[in-house]
Amino acid sequence: MLYIKAPAKINLTLDVLYKRPDHYHEVDMIMTTIDLSDRIGLEARQDGVIKIISADRFVPSDERNFAYQAAKLVQDTYKIKEGVSITIDKEIPIAAGLAGGSSDAAATLRGLNELWNLNLTIDELAELGAQIGSDVPFCVYGGTARATGRGEKIEELPTPPNCWIVLAKPKIGVSTADVYGGLRLDGVVHPNTAKAIEAIDNKDYEALCESLGNVLESVTLKLHPEVSMIKEQMYRLGADAVLMSGSGPTVFGLVDSEARTARIYNGLRGFCDEVYTVRLLGERNTLA
Nearest-angstrom CA–CA distance, 63 and 81: 18
Residue 248 zone, left/alpha/beta (φ > 0; ψ -120 to 50; rest): left
Asked about 15 being catalytic, the answer comes back as no
Give the confidence band of 174 by pLDDT, cuts at 50, 70, 90: confident
Mean pLDDT value of segment 223-245: 96
Single out the catalytic residue among 9, 38, 104, 231. Answer: 9
Nearest-angstrom CA–CA distance, 89 and 53: 9
List 15's β-bridge partners, or say none.
28
Q: Among 96, 76, 90, which residue's Cα sits nearest to residue 9?
A: 96
Mean pLDDT value of segment 271-282: 91
Nearest-angstrom CA–CA distance, 183 and 215: 8
Nearest-angstrom CA–CA distance, 71 and 73: 5
CB 221 within 8 A of CB 179: no
User: What pLDDT was estimated at residue 288?
Assistant: 45
Nearest-angstrom CA–CA distance, 226 and 33: 25
Single out the catalytic residue among 15, 28, 135, 240. Answer: 135
Mean pLDDT value of segment 185-193: 91
pLDDT at 282 over 80: no
Asked about 79 being catalytic, the answer comes back as no
pTM: 0.95
| Inter-CA distances, 14 with 11, 175, 192, 193, 275, Å | 6, 17, 10, 8, 22
Give the torsion sign (CA, 244, 174, 181, 60): positive
Q: What DSSP character marks residue 186?
A: T
